[in-house]
Chain A
Amino acid sequence: MADGKTPFDTAFHPGAAVATPPARSLAASDRHADLEHAIEHAAHLLPTQAPIQVFVHHNTLHAFEHLSFAEGVERGGRTYGCRPYLREEDFHAKLESGRILREDLSAVLVDDLADSADRLIGFLGTRYRLRLAMLEHPLRHGPDAELRWWIAETDALRRFRPEVAQGVREQMINRTRHWVMRDLRVGRPRSDEPIRTAAATLIERFGSGNVEQWDTGTWEAFTLHLLWHICRRGVRDLPIGDQSRSSDDSAANAAQMSNPVAVAVRHRDLMLAATGLDSDRLVNEVLIRFCAPFLDQGLAAWQLPAADDGFLASFSALYANSHPVEPWLRELPAELARIATARLRPLELIAESLQVLGVPAEEQDSYLERTLLALRGWAGMLWQMETNAEWAARPAPRGTLVEYMAVRLLLERLAIAHLARECDESPGDLGTIRVRLRQRAVVPAATSEYQRAFVIFQLAQTIGWHPPDLWRLTPDEWLTLIKEIEAFNDVERRRVYQLAFERRYRNQALDAWLAHAPHARPTESRPRFQVICCIDEREESFRRHLEEVAPPCETFGVAGFFGVAMYYRGLAEAHYVPLCPVVVKPRHFVQEEVVYSFEQSHRRRSETRRVLGHASHRLHTESRSVLGGAIAALLGSLASIPLVARVLFPRLTAQVRRLFGQFVQPPPITRLSLERTGPEPGPANGQLGYSVDEMTDIAQRVLEDIGLTARFSRLVIIVGHGSSSLNNPHESAHDCGACGGGRGGPNARAFSFMLNDARVRYTLAERGLNIPRETVFVGAYHNTCDESMRYYDLDRLPSSHRDDFETAKAAIDEARRRNAHERCRRFESAEMDLSPEAALRHVEGRAEDLSQVRPEYGHATNAICYVGRRWRTRGLFLDRRTFLASYDPMLDDDSQRVLTRILQAVIPVCAGINLEYYFSFVDPSGYGCDTKLPHNITSLLGVMDGAASDLRSGLPWQMVEIHEPVRIVFVIETTPEAMLRILARNPSLSELVERDWVQLAVLAPDAAVVQLYRGGRFEPYDPETTELPVVGSSDDWYRGWRDHLGFASVVPESCGSIAAASEPRA
């Protein structure tokens, strides 16, 4: 700004403000580096959700994991404007229904307050007592008007609150009556003259003539009136808001932070508070319209011109020569032309905008952060496509987010200048406007006197503070009381409720674990067959049913990619997809190949598929064009047939479609290209697959993990899983998390292939792991949505094992039916009295139904993760809420090598799933993506609500609606010392544990003893009860019940003791 004129003289013409570009000096480049750093730092706050086809669960507040859970949810809540916990009324409902008990509240409070629990508040009792009262009975809060209405129109001043105990009520009435009759009515006038007058007026109102004959009802009303009067008077003229808390810095800071206007740095926030005008609405509309085609992965037929040149260049190319009709955009073309002539780089443009907007250097970082969060879904996707999507069809170029920021700030300059003109703001530069707006902004009022009085009025009734006692309080004591009450604000209360809710479920779970111990016995005999599933909590019920159906079988759980991290391409698939956890980058490529004898038919069929694919793609795109559309529409009446059929008879239609589909399906017998001939793995011919040594390593590792090193049965079935559903943009969120949101069938197939290989077995035997010659492994794929099971490579099954397979398959089929039946108890649209067969048909229908928004409930209700030997939980009804990883502590070495590698995978993955569900449930519209109904797939990357909204990240409500937001409890079968050693060696695990993002307990390997992790060490857990209902089958326990169910032991022999079981359900 060397030209003498300040840049702000012509601020209403933001373009003219800076005529010459800032000199590109060393200082400037430093500043630009700072800006870039600030933006990239703020980018960590953006949602990290990848494109929706590869949905991977992760902690929504990952950016806050360096804080404790309590701090993190609060800070995150403030940053995104979202709820930290459930609402208070949700917790009240849980208190009512017994999902939280009073004893949980008091236990949690005692813990939470530690030494300060007994601190006295005047003579009104302890802090603990006060807080407990505030939690036990919901207090009514609300704006003044609502409370005034409440006082005037309800029985609030005539009857005590319903929950007040009889004794407390009578005592208070009696005491007040004595006080009035003895001291206020007839006694000598003393210093308490004001209360005498008030009492006299009140007596007058209730009928002074017959005061001695008043009945209890009148005295009750009188007491309450007097109490209300004293409360009103007590809180009068006490400092309100920040001053009252000046002694307590952290509280004051919290209040400061929670006041949106005080912390607002953006013009937009201040303008909204001051005038009700929202500049973001203007700016976002333009940006949404532009971001969608900029990021488009192939939805639109006509691509954005110059999209590959970067965000800013493309934006300029599109708008530089435009003639905008909207008044606020009128200067945009000139601005873009100026930027082009001056060759302003994006960071220079940002620096210029900040200068024009008058943002002081110290506010710069938070200004950029808030600006970036104004459209956080889209900004997050830009960042993901820029940094993390090299595999996508069209990733975004490096620097996209910075350029987005440059464009956004430019648009904001225009929008704010325009709106300032519109609301007749007196002229000045944008910086001065900001200052003036801050002065004008309506600051939301702190708690009013009326509200304070009403809270104390309610508390006095429940706790039993009597009017004469309250009357004697000095103003200082009133202030102390109010501070105490306000320190236990609504977030604090919800934090305690949350702890209490978690405590209840955790105690029930641990009690169940311990009480089940007598029923849990390791099987000594050789199992008939063995099944290895994913640890996924949806497989818990499947395994339980299978064990019930076929008691001589044994099941295991291991991360569902079975150690086979690969890029996989199926015979009828176009691309390689990674099938392994997201943190792993696979080195191996595996392809499905057709066997020689089917090559001919394969070639014919794939050609047919290609032709049909091209045809339907043409139909798809051409039906949107002029001529193609007209032709399609003239014949369109035919579309009514599939329309009606698919909506009214989804399952039948699907069967017909499959019938026809058979003619183009890949041939029934295929092979995986699993064995590599070349030295190095890669995607080219000869590089596909694994060497024998690599296969052996994988086999050994997984078998060691699950502790299956001896007692192999004749048949071992490896079950991968996935989910398929229609009309569900979030389909991939139901797939296997251990396969990075992919389907784990090929992994199971590959793993069983490896284990069947004679050379692999030979090498394993050399390493001391003997797989008997007669043991055969079979891969399978379990679809958790329609509950189907597909087996691989059955053509290779030796005929000696046919009977074994038939037996196992029959058991699995029955288990599938029962599993479908158990799942149906959660679906309101499934009748309660379905038979298992009908339930299976029902879930099959759900998967094929276009109108079904809840094909399955996915990970909803997940709450526990157990790592240990299955026999310790076998027969325990865990209600599909528990991840089950198999691990045998007896086989592990002293440094817990096996357990460490299991936990390194299991803790982050399960915590990510659990926390994503927590946040999407606690604030469905803020952290989640709300209801699916208006979702609109955009750019093939995500969903918007309707045609122009922010990109919605998180989980939809229909997926999480039955979830219970508790932090996951890891129950690990090991010793406390071993666990502490593992935590000490693995900072990534200890961070989650120490900062309370997950809960942790260990189960002693040799005894039924549980220790709970608290603040860096393990403490023995003392069970509340040793009773656990015992039922004959799972069905006996869950039948006829839709909601949450407690734990139970399922012991097939004992069908008798159901009666004892019927009570503790809730």
Chain B
Amino acid sequence: MNVDAFYLAFGVATVVAPTALLVLVGLSSLVGWSISEQTTARATQTAVVAGLLAAIAVLGLMLFSGQRHVPIELGNWVVIPHEHFHFHLSFMFDRLSVPFAILTFTLVGTIGAFANRYLHREPGYHRFFLLYAIFLVGMIVACLAGTIETLFLGWELVGLSSALLVAYFHERPAPVINGQRVWSVYRISDAALLIAAVALHHLTGEGDFIKLMGQGPWPAGHAALTSSQALFVGLLLVVAAAGKSALIPFSGWLPRAMEGPTPSSAVFYGALSVHLGAFLLLRAGPILDESWLLCTIVVLLGSTTAVFAAMAARVQADVKSALAFASLTQVGIITAEIGLGFRYIALIHIIGHACLRTLQLVRAPTLLHDYHSLENAIGQHLPGTSGLEGRIPGRFGVRLYRLALERGYLDALIDRCVVRPFLRTFRWCDRLERRWTAKLRGGAAAEFDRQGAPAYPKELL
């Protein structure tokens, strides 16, 4: 057997292991076949370890054979000849995707072991592990994707499982409202990514990163786009990345995502899914390279987010929000690094930050214990940290504090500038429709129209 056969075997195993887990957990809940916590835990462990070993094997082979770019083709799944469209499932192992996949397996696996005990005897145990499996598949598919459509598939799975995990405690209203909020922001970012994919197809006739980005292995690719095309597609990708990574102006959803169980908050919003936007920009690096304007925008977006989030993190009085904004600070910096062209630094930054933040979030409930031992070690109440805010003059300081406490008014702004007009338009359409149907029926409003229309819970939006 030659090296290629090994590549194929390990490459496929990397993707198939989590998929098998999803099929097992998903099918069992679909047919109402209840499996014990122990079985779920063991299946999860097996799948993650198998995937992790396969990914490490691919890495080993790459180092051994010196190959820096290994595509795995799984053929066309949808072909529409007269539209020149094919849905091409292909995965790509290179210096970007392999470390990311290994990181994903490590963190998700650790959190799986953690959650197995943390959620022991919880009524939603299986639901959690189902969503967990979806998330794992989504992350692996997204980071190994060789075409933009494949990436979109993973991207969607990650979004779906994230939103459902935020709404994990669905018997209370707040998690559901917040889950919906996360979902809505994700939809905006999904739409942007989808349009970008279509645009890329339209411009180049291809969705494959390998052709799109030119020949060289990551990060040395070269996009086959003109500067203005790159700007257009790139902007869409930036919107997609901003939604997923909670960059300005979408930052409002990140603290809201802390409604779910601690392990999911840790791995999803503290570590992996929040970096997915940055990963997209890394993957699309060659497009960024084509337009300095685009790079400037990315740098500005990243650094503004970093500054804003650092400020917000300082005022949060609850540990999970503080960690969420701390996380966002680093994501902002990572984004800026990508814009500046430091691709490797960004990758190392992502990996380190994800590990650190997962550990911190997982330990969040032990904060009181930690503070207590720190106080004992220091021998006094914990000293306040000296930040810049001490030097800001009063009025302005209050203003900044308010901005940070209100999380930049970002949610309220989106409500006002996007949600309200959107709702108004559709309500107007609704009224119009009622009027027409009434007219067609000869004046009388239809039965269902007359019944007290439910009040729109406007303040939810």
Contact = CB atoms under 8 A, between A and B. Distances in A.
A633 interface: yes
A948 B172 CA distance: 13
B412 A617 contact: no
Contacts of A625: 310, 313-314, 326, 329, 387
Contacts of B256: 946-948
Contacts of A573: 376
Contacts of A475: none
B224 interface: no
B317 A299 contact: yes
B203 interface: no
Contact of A938 (B114, B318, B348, B399): B318
Interface string A548-588: 00000000000000000000001011110000000000000
B31 to A, nearest CB: 24
Contacts of A606: 379
A625 B175 CA distance: 28
B315 A853 contact: no
B365 interface: yes
A640 B333 contact: no
Contacts of B318: 292, 299, 936-939, 944, 947
Contacts of B378: 574, 610, 613-614, 617
B174 A948 contact: yes
Interface string B237-279: 0000000000000000001101111110000000000000000
B314 A643 contact: no
Tell me which of B111, B119, B351, B366 has the highest count of chain A C-beta atoms within 10 A of its own C-beta. Answer: B366
Tell me which of B317, B321, B372 has the highest count of chain A C-beta atoms within 10 A of its own C-beta. Answer: B317
B371 A574 contact: no
Given A325-B413, A727-B363, A853-B118, A945 B384 contact: no
B307 interface: yes
B315 A302 contact: yes
Contacts of A620: 370, 374
A617 B382 contact: yes
A728 B329 contact: no
Nearest to B266: A643
Given A281-B459, A726-B369, A850 B364 contact: no
B75 interface: no
Contact of A934 (B121, B169, B454): B169
A606 B380 CA distance: 13
Contacts, number: 307
A664 B115 CA distance: 33
B409 A325 contact: yes
Tell me which of A393, A574, A946 has the highest count of chain B C-beta atoms within 10 A of its own C-beta. Answer: A946
Tell me which of B326, B387, B399 has the highest count of chain A C-beta atoms within 10 A of its own C-beta. Answer: B326
B352 interface: yes
A145 interface: no
A7 interface: no
B182 interface: no
B170 interface: no
B325 to A, nearest CB: 8
A623 B356 contact: yes
A371 to B, nearest CB: 19
A321 B317 contact: no
A685 interface: no
A946 B356 contact: no
| Secondary structure type dominating chain B contacts | helix
Nearest to B38: A829
Interface residues of B, number: 109
B369 to A, nearest CB: 6
A1066 interface: no
Interface in A781-802: none
Contacts of B375: 574-575
Contacts of B115: 851
A693 to B, nearest CB: 33
Nearest to B109: A644
B431 to A, nearest CB: 13
A643 B353 contact: no
Given A300-B316, A633-B356, A851-B117, A626 B368 contact: no
Nearest to B112: A647
A934 B262 contact: yes
Question: Chain A interface: which size bin?
Answer: 35 or more
A624 B402 contact: no
A761 B406 CA distance: 65
Nearest to A724: B369
A614 B412 CA distance: 39
A637 B107 CA distance: 11
A850 B363 CA distance: 7
A624 B313 contact: yes
A187 interface: no
B376 A300 contact: no
A659 interface: no
A329 B106 CA distance: 46
Contacts of A936: 258, 318-321, 364
B310 A633 contact: no
B110 interface: yes
Given A276-B454, A648-B110, A946-B175, A637 B355 contact: yes
Nearest to A575: B375
B114 A850 contact: yes
Interface in B136-192: 168-169, 172, 174-175, 178
B56 interface: no
A415 to B, nearest CB: 8
Interface string A634-651: 111111101110011000
A933 B119 contact: yes
A276 B412 contact: no
A959 B245 CA distance: 36
B260 A643 contact: no
Nearest to B313: A624
B189 to A, nearest CB: 21
Nearest to B383: A617
Given A609-B377, A614-B378, A934-B259, A728 B366 contact: yes
Interface in A593-616: 606, 609-610, 612-614, 616
A702 B349 CA distance: 61
Given A423-B455, A643-B359, A648 B329 contact: no
B412 A933 contact: no
A422 B420 CA distance: 12
A301 B385 contact: yes
Among all A-B residue pairs, the 9 with the closest Cβ atoms: A613-B377, A636-B352, A636-B356, A624-B326, A946-B259, A633-B353, A325-B412, A933-B261, A292-B317
Given A302-B387, A931-B169, A936-B318, 5 more contacts: A301-B313, A643-B358, A728-B369, A934-B259, A936-B258
Interface of B: 106-107, 110-111, 113-122, 168-169, 172, 174-175, 178, 255-256, 258-263, 306-307, 310-311, 313-326, 329-330, 333, 345, 348-349, 351-360, 362-385, 387, 389, 394-395, 397-399, 401-402, 404-406, 409, 412-413, 415-416, 454-455, 457-460
12 contacts: A295-B317, A302-B387, A302-B401, A302-B404, A321-B399, A613-B376, A616-B374, A621-B385, A624-B329, A634-B348, A647-B113, A936-B321
